[in-house]
Structure 1
Amino acid sequence: MNYSRTYRLSFAILFTCLFFIFTGYSILAEEDDEEFNEYDERVNLYKKTENLTSIPWYYLAAIDQYERNINEVDDERLTGIQFPDHKWFGQLAFDSETEHLESVIQLFDGIGKDGNGNGYADPNNDEDALYTMGMYVYEQLGNGKTYDEIFELFYGREKAAKLINQYAKVFDHFQTVDLHERAFPIPEYHNYSYRSTWGAGRGYGGNRIHEGTDIFASYGTPVRSVSYGIVEIMGWNRYGGWRVGIRDTQNIYHYYAHLNGFEDGIEEGTMVEPGEVIGYVGSSGYGPVGTSGKFPPHLHYGMYRYNGEHEWAFDPYPSLRRWE
């Protein structure tokens, strides 16, 4: 038997395995760095624009996030802010794809501004777009308007102002825009069961469908926030009993219902993060305040999305399986 050849072959196999292992780690690290750098670059741009406009970076981030949530974002752009032509260019009749001198745009009552110092105001340039939005907010504040009034005026919707203010509070609290981590709502060391119950009929309160997933667990089982976000509403609902509604920055409203009680310190306006306990499994609901026991204890978990015009429910089951 040729031991030398065997050793050489074993060494070659070992070297190949180590090569692929370390190469794989390197690729993953690069991917992580790329993801981190994207969020890092966005925050750097927000803070740069804060220095130019005096608008806090987390408000600029919140405006950008609102636009990301309601618009299709170009992969080549760092921000999602988009301006209607009539706002950016005013009464100019030129093609919006053409670069324009800021001074000319101002003559025609456009709000487009040059944010990168090249003399042109390009709505598809991230620095120009963010600087223009920051200066618009700054000028409106100077006219005596509040942030709420400014956002409602610009977007034409009261809800836009509410959401942007919520996002700003979340970004300011956590000091980052990288808030994509998720957690399963029931801790893994507790017994629970669930299946897809989306669209099933419900009798109480009239003919309606089930807009969520029921996770059955024992009374008092902790219920955790699945995301970073802000407690938008909590209290009693005759359908959901004791419930908590949490809005994340991706504009998903997370609905936790039929609770037995709330965690101490949780109230409207509280900032939460993935895995943080917000309440406990119960069987409350289907009646006036305090009604309980009309069904087995479980958590009703629902997800709702807002697109700038309407809010609708969607099936949370695939997300739950992924987080689990």
Structure 2
Amino acid sequence: MKRIVALVLLLTLLPHQTWAEEQKPDVKAQRMNLYKTMESLTQIPWYYLAAVDQYERNIQKEPASEGVIAITIPREMWNGATNPSQKDALPISEIELFQGIGQDGNGDDLADRTNDADILVSFSQWMSGFGTSKQDIKIALWNYYERDLSVQTIMNTAKVFKTEKTIDLGQHIFPVPLNHNYSYKNTWGDPRGFGGRRIHEGTDIFANYGVPVRATSYGVIEMKGWNKFGGWRIGVRDIHNIYHYFAHLNGFEKNVNVGQVVKPGDVIGYVGASGYGPPGTSGKFPPHLHYGMYKDNGHSEWSFDPYPHLKLWERQTRQLKK
């Protein structure tokens, strides 16, 4: 009880921020303040709360509330599954009667599933019921999402936040250095014949053998090795639920491993012409980097056209050099 009272006092001191003000520079600072306040009260490390919030923000078509916190707890879980009233805001006494997890974080005696303070205290307290270790957090996330990829994505995002010590990680960079000769055009959706009829799920960036290939975003290396289509390839899952696929490499950068956090500009491999066969097959096409992007919406994952993003990142990278 003392912990909850302290939480109410702290969270009511935090300024409210509407979702429409997302682009203001202090929004991320407001979120960090909320995450770290909650960490001090529940012992759930801030980067796990930030990762769940980031994941929810990435999978929502529209914001569930006007606040800065995107975590959305189902009404039945919030109010109690057998509660005949499933309104967004209910008195604490009623929610406790039906064993819901909703709690009051701002001192108004209501548990409102659209209020930032109420959301964070409720979710954090629920998670802490499983424990506060890394394995405990994974178990809690599995119980909440019941999906391996969701748990893996959140854990990876938390790892990035913990490593970088910030959530302000929206930077990107072009995957090959601009001082090398390279060329590319929009080839997404073009037909491909090797291995059966299929479409090209990426953009080919043609360059010489050995040109460095760089991570384009903050993320975690999720896959590394051989694929009969992509040859030597690396996959990076970023903090926006996007899987970045780098294929046909000539080789990998030394000491690059699965589970490693990368940031924009980190060299992860080198342009090659590997693939279209068993391990070691190379030279069946000119050297190039196949760059693919796959979006996860919390239910399924699909390929989308990376070309517009590459053009934008190319311009942004060129500006960085000036």
TM norm structure 1: 0.86
Change (3 A) 1:205 1:261: same
Match of 2:103 in 1: 113
The separation in 2 between residues aligned to 1:66 and 1:37, in whole angstroms, is 20
Once the two structures are superposed, the pairs formed by residues 284-299 of structure 1 within 5 Å of their partners are 284-299=274-289
Contact 2:64 2:114 in 1 (8 A): no
Match of 1:140 in 2: 130
Match of 1:65 in 2: 54
Letter in structure 1 aligned against 2:87: S
Deviation, structure 1 residue 88: 0.4
Letter in structure 1 aligned against 2:70: G
Deviation, structure 1 residue 120: 1.4
Match of 1:223 in 2: 213
Cα-to-partner distance string for 1:18-64 (whole Å, 9 max, x where unaligned): xxxxxxxxxxxxxxx96331111111100011112110000000111
> Unmatched 5+ residue regions in structure 2?
1-21, 315-322
Instruction: Select between 119-128 and 155-164 the one with higher mean Cα deviation.
Output: 155-164
Letter in structure 1 aligned against 2:218: Y
Once the two structures are superposed, the pairs formed by residues 158-307 of structure 1 within 5 Å of their partners are 158-307=148-297
Task: Flag the structure with larger Rg.
Answer: 1
Match of 2:44 in 1: 55
Change (3 A) 1:218 1:144: closer
Identity fraction in percent: 53
Computed over aligned residues only, the root mean square deviation of the Cα atoms, in angstroms, reads: 1.9
Contact 1:147 1:161 in 2 (8 A): no
Match of 1:92 in 2: 83
Q: Secondary structure at the match of 2:68?
A: coil
Letter in structure 1 aligned against 2:219: G
Deviation, structure 1 residue 184: 0.5
Once the two structures are superposed, the pairs formed by residues 5-20 of structure 1 within 5 Å of their partners are none
Q: Secondary structure at the match of 1:180?
A: coil
Aligned pair 1:315/2:308, yes or no? no
Change (3 A) 1:231 1:36: same
Contact 2:64 2:72 in 1 (8 A): no
TM norm structure 2: 0.87
How many residues end up aligned between the 2 structures? Answer: 292
Deviation, structure 1 residue 83: 1.3
Cα-to-partner distance string for 1:190-243 (whole Å, 9 max, x where unaligned): 010000001111111111100000000000001111101110111111110110
Q: Secondary structure at the match of 1:140?
A: coil
Cα-to-partner distance string for 1:236-261 (whole Å, 9 max, x where unaligned): 11110110100110011000000001
Letter in structure 2 aligned against 1:181: Q
> Unmatched 5+ residue regions in structure 1?
1-32
Contact 1:68 1:80 in 2 (8 A): yes
Change (3 A) 1:289 1:191: same
Contact 2:221 2:261 in 1 (8 A): yes
Change (3 A) 1:314 1:127: same
Instruction: Select between 139-148 and 173-182 the one with higher mean Cα deviation.
Output: 139-148
Q: Secondary structure at the match of 1:242?
A: strand
Q: Secondary structure at the match of 2:156?
A: helix
Contact 1:231 1:269 in 2 (8 A): yes
